[in-house]
Amino acid sequence: MTCEIVLPQLEALLDGELTPEDAAEAERHLEVCAACAAARADYVEVRRMADAWTVAVPDIRGRVTAAVDADERNALLTEMQRLRLEMQSLREEVAALRRQLSPRLEAPWTPPARRDYRTLEDDPWNLIRS
Amino acid sequence: MDDEDALMQRAAVGDTQAFDALVQVYQAPLLRFALRSTGNPEAASDAVQEAFLRLWRGRIGYTPRGCLRAYLFRILRSVCLDSLRAARPEEPLEDGAGAASDPADLALVSGLADAVRLAVAALPEAQRSVFLLSHYEGLSYTEIAEVLDCPVGTVASRKHQATETLRRKLYSWRDS
């Protein structure tokens, strides 16, 4: 391995991301190349320096739970609203249908006029005569 | 299937206790990443809450394709980027804008922690995310590739570039 190959792989080597074969080859190069060994020491130092930046984080479980509950409530309310609108529209459809049908349903039944009974069971002689 | 995936499968059928357990497991790493990305504790808490909400809303269609941790970081990064874009619409994130501090102030700080914070904030967003996820949260390159939706080789190259930039800046700060 040459410096051009090893240098860009130093981070991956330190992170344990190289294959065992590549790592072993890189290590062999580092044993004989002072410049690459110095670069690796620099990268280790950068990691040590980066560790100085620590952050304290709060416990937000309560607010996440509250947000999830509120979200669920909102989702249910939206679904209820949708169903309510659907029911309203269904009710209107039923009312319109009832209005359409009611004159016929409520009118008294009257038999059709005699001339509509033009079948053989009705008075065949009359049919022939006419 | 690991423990977290099992918890997610239970959460997917409405088990809120399993979801609470997931929040317990992941809130600290997610908050650390959000805080280091945005530089703002309130924005970080909001972003993590939003990431968990999105996970909850998407629970029914959840299928364990990869690692849940990477999936969560992916959602969170997207939320953080949206929040940074909304806060500073005029600044491109690729140029190292985003974290709440001005990178030009590096020479003025006296503490190492502040110097690191400013140097990391000055990194281009993609390099910064790779560095934060790899160095501070210990994600593998494969997981980071999943978070950033890029090849593993790109992750390795960004990590190298980020470390090289940090080395230059931090050594220069230390020697000044």
pLDDT digits (tens, 9 = 90+) for B46-88: 999 999 999 998 888 777 677 889 999 999 999 999 888 887 7
Buried b (16+ CB within 10 A) or exposed e, B117-150: bbbbbbbbbbbbbbbbbbbbbebbbebbbbbbee
Q: Express each pLDDT in A110-127 by its tens digit.
A: 766 655 555 556 666 666
What distance in Å separates the CA atoms of residue A36 and residue B122, rounded to the nearest whole number?
Answer: 26
Do A37 and A30 touch, CB atoms closer than 8 A?
yes
* Residue given tokens 């909102």 in the structure block: A74
Do B138 and B130 touch, CB atoms closer than 8 A?
no
Contacts of residue A52, defined as CB under 8 A and 6 or more positions apart, other chains included, come to B111, B112, B113, B116
Instruction: Chain A: give the shortest CA distance to residue B159, in Å.
Output: 7
A66 part of contact set with chain B, CB < 8 Å: no
Q: Express each pLDDT in A96-115 by its tens digit.
A: 888 888 776 666 667 666 55
CA angle B111, A47, A60 (to 5 degrees): 75
Q: Helix H segments across chain B?
A: 3-12, 16-38, 41-57, 68-87, 112-121, 125-131, 141-148, 152-175
B163 part of contact set with chain A, CB < 8 Å: yes
Instruction: Chain A: give the shortest CA distance to residue B97, in Å.
Output: 19
Residue contact A58–B159, C-beta within 8 A: no
User: Is the ipTM of this structure higher than 0.90?
Assistant: no
B13 part of contact set with chain A, CB < 8 Å: no
Tell me the count of A-B CB pairs closer than 8 A. 94
What distance in Å separates the CA atoms of residue A65 and residue B16, rounded to the nearest whole number?
Answer: 9
What distance in Å separates the CA atoms of residue B166 and residue B120, rounded to the nearest whole number?
Answer: 7
3-state secondary structure of A3: helix
What distance in Å separates the CA atoms of residue A24 and residue A29, rounded to the nearest whole number?
Answer: 9
- Residue B90's pLDDT band, with cuts at 50, 70 and 90, is low
3-state secondary structure of A91: helix
3-state secondary structure of A13: helix
Do B13 and B19 touch, CB atoms closer than 8 A?
no
What distance in Å separates the CA atoms of residue B96 and residue A79, rounded to the nearest whole number?
Answer: 43
Q: Express each pLDDT in A5-60 by its tens digit.
A: 999 999 999 999 999 999 999 999 999 999 999 999 999 999 999 999 999 999 99
Q: What is the pLDDT of residue A34?
A: 94
What distance in Å separates the CA atoms of residue A116 and residue A111, rounded to the nearest whole number?
Answer: 10
